[in-house]
Structure 1
Amino acid sequence: MGTMTKPQYKGKRYRLDKPELLAPAGNLEKLKFAVHYGADAVYIGGQKYGLRSGADNFSFEEMREGVEFAKKYGAKVFVATNIYAHNEDIAGIEEYLRNLYEAGIAAIIVADPAIVDTARRLVPGLEVHLSTQQSTLNWQAVSFWKEEGLPRVVLGRETSLEEIAEIKKHVDIEIESFIHGAMCSSYSGRCVLSNHFTDRDSNRGGCCQSCRWKYDLFEDGRPEGTWVSEEDQAEAAPPQHLLPGVTQLPLHQPEDNPFTMGSKDLCMLESIPDLIEVGIDSFKIEGRMKSIHYVATVVNAYRKAIDSYMADPENYVLKPEWLEELHKAANRPLNTGFFYDTPDHEDHIYEPEEKAAPYDFAGLVLEYDAQSGMALVQQRNHFKPGQEVEFFGPDNTFFKQIVGELWDEAGNPLDAARHPLQKVRMKVDQPVAYFDMMRKRK
């Protein structure tokens, strides 16, 4: 994973209020991990009207359970209701919004003015937050939405820190910004590549992420086996059609790679002071489709950084291990998006081969007996005696150890934890707690 050089923000700074840490939750289990590892709020998708049809998404019953769990930690649950609706999508929206309110949802995230208007009239007790899909980038647009009664605007990812400071100067409203995760190669999601290639509407929840496919450039009319040089490319007139039996061939040498249209991922962990001092009210992490390990690790790193800064702003120092934790959850190169400057060619991903995250989520701690030092661990990936694993958790748990003997719940010895969700007992070198995670290097 690439390293970043932290830019400097030299603009206006407004306040030191503690921001909300808002985490993604693609299903109920991810919601519980996000909250347990430090999220102040989570955003989820229902089974309609959201932009992540590939996520598990929540039934109303699961929403109610998620809300009750979040309340125990003082956290809130928001629902993304951010499609651009066609006429056929509007049918049923009123009943859906009532059900969200009755489930205890704190706010909905909306892009379409029709849904904004319906929600404000029908369920005034349900907060409406303006989605980043509206591409709101300036203070006058933010002011307009405030006058419409919205308490929060999720700014477009294209907004810089200087622009955010200007917005905060002119409009007293909550500002939410994405601070970590994948970046859209289009303009705040306004893309129809998915529609064109797969007939899946990206603005109605069906994006196939075609910008991250591998692409190549071909010239029509070249016989098979002929590589096209740059000189030939300059001189050749494009053929009007393919001749029978003629193959399309790539315009590069055999050793060259195809390309993607993907962007490096956003990461603002090194810029926590700037984000807080410029006045951003909610720090949003992208990733409802990401794994439990990813969500817990990223939330935990930002939670520690935010809390550390708020406890002592003058002496705050970013700990290298927080950034190292992010690298264990994902292996994509990182940048700072549009916060400091407009991204350029250095912020594009040129290597088409995506490397998997270097660690697997191997087990979840269910119980720990301090007297015996034994833990009951639920298997999430195969592990066995002799392997090195890491334990980590939200309460500063972190240590490495070699897996020793394993036993099943009845006390029978095991040569490995082979089965999904299998419960095994093992001795741990240091105290652990419920919901601590165990991971192993791939």
Structure 2
Amino acid sequence: MRSETETKFLRLTPATQLLGWVGSIAVFAWAIFATAILLIDSIGSGNVREQVKREQIAYETRLNALSDERDLRAQEADMAHQRFSVALAQISEMQTKLLESEDSRAELEKGIDVIQSTLRRTMSERDTARAKAQELEVALNGAEENGATAAGRIEDAIGTLDFMTSALETTATERDQIAADAQKAFTHAQELEFQAELMKERNDRIFTQLEDAMTISVKPLDKMFAAAGLSSDSLISQVRRGYSGQGGPLMPLSFSTMGQEPDADTLRANGILNQLDRLNLYRIAAQKAPFALPVKAAFRFTSPFGMRWGRMHKGTDFAAALGTPIYATADGVVISAGWGQGYGKLVKIQHAFGIETRYAHMSKILVKVGQRVSRGQQVGAMGNTGRSTGTHLHYEVRVGGKAVNPMTYIKAAKDVF
């Protein structure tokens, strides 16, 4: 170090020089290592986002396809129900006609019996008249009576015989006509029986299609509730108590059986109606349980439910951009909407069946305490409030006050919704 009057020298020992070199090399290596980590994390995050986006698109496509198929099945079931009602009306009309034809046939058979009895009596009287005519003719030929008187008697006998012959022919014609009418009625009754049999087979096919449709629709919901650890019978019982209102002219399907047990078609029809009622109750229960995702935009899972850093993490974290909409996962009532200690801006929703959901670290709250919300309704926006290391949603599901894994419900519904 040189000045105007003197020069000073600064001497570095070998150890000091070595220490300086080592420090410089360490700083340079740390810079290279940190840069590499940032590049790898950036590339990895981009790949994860693309993968999540592709999975989200596939999920939404599958969801739309299932929704269309469900609507188609519901439309087919409704059309089948209408065809079934028309078929029942036709069967009832055919049964009425069949009964009328049976009564007509019975009356015709009774009339034929009467006509045959009358015919036999008429034929007997004809034979008697012929015998008397022969006797009169013999008496006329062998007796010495007045010719005019005998001729009158013969003329009377012939007139009587002609009258009885005409009556006999008329009776025979009526008998043939009645027999033809009876045969025609019998043939018509056979045709009605054949048509009734065809209608029965068609109804059986319709019943089978409806029963298969009900099985296809109800079985996935049974599996969904079972996978979520919910008792389907208990859920249906609770929903039925909450939706017990009745009214109007619609009643369970029933027919007059004259004091007899309901037939097989009636039992099958009532069974299908019960399945439709069960399916509707399932639909209501599914709306009241948190089977939906709280985030519909592109996101990535950053922390699952379970132990984390030696502490219990009671929810699942979804990371996305600041302000991403957050939606209610089921119908319910808002019981808390405000600041929640480490949760930051927090919304709590009470659902049916003792289930509660929590949405934490939000940047904005869009609901109020006491407000009723529906599944899919926006309740806030994603943020970084409270004890949080970055923008994300902390989502919790609690049953009876105890935290459970939210993914249990989300995974259970992935093949249904």
Q: Which one scores higher on RCO, CA 8 angstroms, separation ≥ 6?
A: 1
Higher radius of gyration, 1 or 2: 2
Give the TM-score band, short-chain normalised: under 0.3
Q: TM-score, normalised by structure 2?
A: 0.25
Q: TM-score, normalised by structure 1?
A: 0.24
Q: Indicate the structure with greater strand content.
A: 1
